[in-house]
Amino acid sequence: MEIREIKGVGPKTEALFHKLHIFTAEDLLSWYPLHYDEYLPPVPIGEACAGGKAAVEGRISRAVSVRRSGARTILTTDIDDPSGRLRLTWYNAPYIRSLLARGSVFIFRGNISLRNGAKVMEHPEIFTLHQYDEKIKTLLPVYGLTRGLGNNAVGKAVKEALSMNLLPAEYLPETFLDETGMLAEEEAFRAVHFPKNKEEALAAVRRLSFDEFFLFILALRTLRSQLLSAENAFPMKLSWDTERMMEGLPFSLTRAQEAAWREIEADLAGERLMSRLIQGDVGSGKTIIAFLAMAMTASNGFQSALMAPTEVLARQHYEKLVKLIADLKLEKLHPVLLTGGLTASRKREALRAIAEGTANAVIGTHALIEDKVSYKALALVVTDEQHRFGVSQRELLLKKGSPPHLMVMSATPIPRTLGIICYGDLDVSVIGELPKNRLPIKNCVVGPSFWGAALRFIAKEAEAGRQAYVICPMIEPAEGMEADNVLDTARRLKKELPSYSIGILHGRMKPAEKNKVMEDFAEGTIQILVSTTVVEVGVDVPNASVMMILGAERFGLAQLHQLRGRVGRGTEQSYCIFMSGQESETVKKRMEILKNSNNGLEIAEKDFELRGPGDLLGIRQSGDALFKIGDPARDRDVIVSAGKLAASLMERDPELAGAEHAPIKKRLDAYMEESSKTITL
Ligand code: ADP
Ligand code: MG
């Protein structure tokens, strides 16, 4: 059902939802909260820290004063309790004045910041003691928003959607739900958006995560049985071109790269179809391994496709390969770029070359396995940092004819037990070392007051000919979300560093604009790039030596580690500045983990320990993560239970043909269909 059919959603709201890729009521129901705002018991005023949100109970100690500043009316007053006093301010809220008589006692809840050294609570909510008692322990969902669309509007639309009975009937056996005590699906959808308390929210997250894992595992197993029975239509021989390529590189492969390559080479020359995961931390040099496999495929007269999660990355890979071919005179490789952003005529040309087989190394985004792309002899598919590829696209490929060899490249560390369940059908090569010429990145964790010093540092690096990234959590300001955004930050930088060239990059720019900016940054004409996390994966500009991440507390640690991996790729010393807007203990501890480790697996494990199993939604991992709500680090036991149910099911009825399994079969088919349409930036 279209989103506009929901009561209360007019054309304006519809357009805003579309901006968030929410098109149907079902999409909306799966637009899970990013986290929950929790109403905690009030703390003594003296203990409320700046940089965080708190509730305090206080007595109004002076009459409210009103002042104008430009178009705004500012109201201020002070409150106290035996432990201290606090200033409160509101903007444009004249009605508050009559409410807050001197001497009366209320509970105030809001963000506390430092103004000229004094703590101020800005625009707090006001409750009577009784009102707050009712509120305590309730959770308020906080959604990922866009400008003009507030939490309340989303909540209202979700409530309407829930009342429309759109959800399909429960598909899990009742006995299983009883045994495990899991919520029914419908109940889980209600509770994830409107939990009565924390326990209920946890139960909802658990159920919805279970569904994600269960369907994923089931789909993988189904595909695996199809793959195992498929014949290898692309037998290959070893090729001299790959040896020439290795010799011609400006560096020699690390031992780990070499070992991974030999495994792939043996797979390709073997009798069975290859299914291999190449796992290597950021900067370990996975791209060149893909190029070697593509060269071997071309030498054998077949085609290969390399799929990247973003256009920016696809183009970068393409340009690297073109340069490598020119440098090393590899005549048999004919690359072509295929992305959604190509002009119609260039796309037509690319499609023809692919169909005729004149192009034999296709590089692009998910566009390259769409239905309208037909290959002459597609023998190898490589996916780079594209976890969603897992199930859906493989299925699409299978439908296209003889299944190709598959190579999945990822920097995401997957703890072993989970890896076996999630990637059970893949062989694994680990690239466990970085090239030797690298200096460890120097890290620092700072608060917003470091801004001036950070800019001086960036300017100094730019003077020395190097470049910097500045990453923001958001593109533009959004209602109810106080976070650094690309547009304002770029404006501020242009003002404060007027003699440097500053560019911006984010997912809502047109493909051509994005390409231009990335090219300019790669060439060094842009010195400072202000960006969202679109540069998170894969981007390789070795001359960049500073990574500054604003609002760092808003990102997952794995994501921060990926972002940091954009620097330290050359021989120069590189630096990463994690700037956090919050001073809470947990934020500090999380940032310390990053500061003390440059190892992705270690970071993921420590992060999990710190968050613990009671963590609700935590901080959402990057957008192309495999699961929407499930978090492999948090949900180990959920995964195990999903794996068990899937295994026992497949053992009894591998085709899910029995009448009692019809609901599961139906859901699985829909899942495979749906996940093949996944959108990438
Ligand atoms: P990732 O594993 O993160 O995808 P890349 O493949 O982008 O890493 O490689 C990162 C950088 O390291 C690139 O500039 C690449 O040319 C370089 N590189 C790759 N292998 C080596 C090596 N063995 N020695 C030195 N530099 C290398
Ligand atoms: Mg990469």
pLDDT, tens digit, 9 for 90 and up, residues 550-582? 998 888 787 888 899 899 888 889 999 999 877
Q: How far is the CA of 340 from the centre of ligand 1 (A)?
A: 27
Among 621, 619, 624, 642, which Cα is nearest to 207's? Answer: 642
**Which residue's CA is the nearest one to ligand 1's atom 26?**
435
- Full strand arrangement of the beta sheet holding 528-531: 442-446, 575-579, 544-549, 467-471, 528-531, 502-505
Q: How far is the C-alpha of 423 from the C-alpha of 277, rounded, in Å?
A: 8
Query: Considering every ligand atom, which ligand is closest to the CA of 279?
Result: 1
Among 443, 17, 141, which Cα is nearest to 1's? Answer: 17
Last-in-domain residue among 115, 136, 157? 136
Domain assignment of residue 346, yes or no: yes
| Ligand 1 probe mutation, 287, 313, 598, most atoms within 8 A of CB | 287
The number of the ligand 1 atom at minimal distance from the alpha carbon of 280 is 2
Q: Which of 127-141, 204-218, 416-430 is predicted least confidently? A: 416-430
Q: How far is the CA of 268 from the centre of ligand 1 (A)?
A: 23
pLDDT at residue 624 in the model: 45
**Which residue's CA is the nearest one to ligand 1's atom 19?**
285
Q: How far is the CA of 284 from the centre of ligand 1 (A)?
A: 6
Query: Considering every ligand atom, which ligand is closest to the CA of 281?
Result: 1
* 459 and 383 part of one domain: no
54's torsion region: left (phi>0), alpha (psi -120 to 50) or beta? beta
The length of the chain in residues reads 681
What tens digit of pLDDT does each residue of 37-55 get?
888 889 999 888 877 788 9
* 413 and 452 part of one domain: no
| 408 or 495: which leads in pLDDT | 495
Pair of tokens at residue 649 = 């099911």
At 110, which CATH number?
A: 2.40.50.140
| Ligand 1 probe mutation, 316, 384, 441, 540, most atoms within 8 A of CB | 540
Which amino acid makes up residue 312?
A: V
**Which residue's CA is the nearest one to ligand 1's atom 16?**
285
Query: Considering every ligand atom, which ligand is closest to the CA of 251?
Result: 1
Average pLDDT, the chain: 86
Q: How far is the CA of 284 from the centre of ligand 2 (A)?
A: 8
| 634 or 566: which leads in pLDDT | 566
Domain assignment of residue 78, yes or no: yes
* 408 and 475 part of one domain: no
Domain assignment of residue 306, yes or no: yes
Is residue 507 classed exposed, middle or buried when 0-12, 13-18 and 19+ CB atoms within 10 A define those classes? middle
Among 228, 226, 213, 225, which Cα is nearest to 646's? Answer: 213
* 427 and 474 part of one domain: no
Pair of tokens at residue 531 = 């960006």
pLDDT band at 614 (very low <50, low <70, confident <90, very high): very low
At 475, which CATH number?
A: 3.40.50.300
Mean pLDDT of 638-663: 89
* 507 and 587 part of one domain: yes
**Which residue's CA is the nearest one to ligand 1's atom 5?**
285
pLDDT at residue 679 in the model: 31
pLDDT at residue 141 in the model: 87
What tens digit of pLDDT does each residue of 293-315 get?
999 999 999 999 999 888 888 99
Domain assignment of residue 208, yes or no: no
What tens digit of pLDDT does each residue of 171-198 get?
999 999 999 999 999 999 999 999 988 8
The number of the ligand 1 atom at minimal distance from the alpha carbon of 384 is 4
The number of the ligand 1 atom at minimal distance from the alpha carbon of 437 is 25
DSSP string over 269-327: TSSSPPEEEEEE-TTS--HHHHHHHHHHHHHTT-EEEEE-SSHHHHHHHHHHHHHHHHH
**Which residue's CA is the nearest one to ligand 1's atom 20?**
285
Domain assignment of residue 249, yes or no: yes
Among 146, 170, 141, 171, which Cα is nearest to 158's? Answer: 141
What tens digit of pLDDT does each residue of 203-240 get?
999 999 999 889 988 887 777 777 767 788 999 999 99
Q: Find out whether 131 and 108 touch, Cβ atoms under 8 Å.
A: no
Query: Considering every ligand atom, which ligand is closest to the CA of 540?
Result: 1
Mean pLDDT of 329-346: 91
Q: How far is the C-alpha of 210 from the C-alpha of 69, rounded, in Å?
A: 52
Last-in-domain residue among 580, 597, 614? 597
| Ligand 1 probe mutation, 257, 282, 288, 541, most atoms within 8 A of CB | 288
Number of domains forming the structure of the chain: 3
pLDDT band at 677 (very low <50, low <70, confident <90, very high): very low
Q: How far is the CA of 536 from the centre of ligand 2 (A)?
A: 10
Residue with tokens 């105030």: 108
pLDDT at residue 634 in the model: 73
* 467 and 346 part of one domain: no
pLDDT at residue 423 in the model: 62
Q: How far is the CA of 556 from the centre of ligand 2 (A)?
A: 19
pLDDT exceeds 60 at position 618? no
* Cα 286 to chain centroid, rounded: 20
Query: Considering every ligand atom, which ligand is closest to the CA of 566?
Result: 1
* 276 and 398 part of one domain: yes
Domain assignment of residue 300, yes or no: yes
**Which residue's CA is the nearest one to ligand 1's atom 24?**
435
Q: How far is the C-alpha of 252 from the C-alpha of 463, rounded, in Å?
A: 31
pLDDT exceeds 50 at position 619? no
Q: How far is the CA of 265 from the centre of ligand 1 (A)?
A: 19
Q: How far is the CA of 115 from the centre of ligand 2 (A)?
A: 43
* 254 and 403 part of one domain: yes
Q: How far is the C-alpha of 560 from the C-alpha of 562, rounded, in Å?
A: 5
Q: How far is the CA of 601 from the centre of ligand 1 (A)?
A: 19
Q: How far is the C-alpha of 13 from the C-alpha of 8, rounded, in Å?
A: 9
pLDDT band at 635 (very low <50, low <70, confident <90, very high): confident
Q: What percent of the chain has pLDDT over 90?
A: 46
**Which residue's CA is the nearest one to ligand 1's atom 4?**
286
Among 463, 462, 482, which Cα is nearest to 472's? Answer: 482
Give the domain extent around 75.
40-136
Q: How far is the CA of 292 from the centre of ligand 2 (A)?
A: 14
* 543 and 577 part of one domain: yes
Query: Considering every ligand atom, which ligand is closest to the CA of 522?
Result: 1
Strand partners, 410: 279
* Cα 549 to chain centroid, rounded: 15
* 393 and 447 part of one domain: no
Q: Which of 83-97, 238-252, 604-618 is predicted least confidently? A: 604-618
Last-in-domain residue among 117, 136, 155? 136
- pTM of the complete model beyond 0.75: no
The number of the ligand 1 atom at minimal distance from the alpha carbon of 289 is 6
pLDDT at residue 623 in the model: 44
Residues near ligand 1 (Cβ within 6 A): 251, 253-254, 257, 280, 282-288, 411, 435, 437, 538, 540, 542, 569
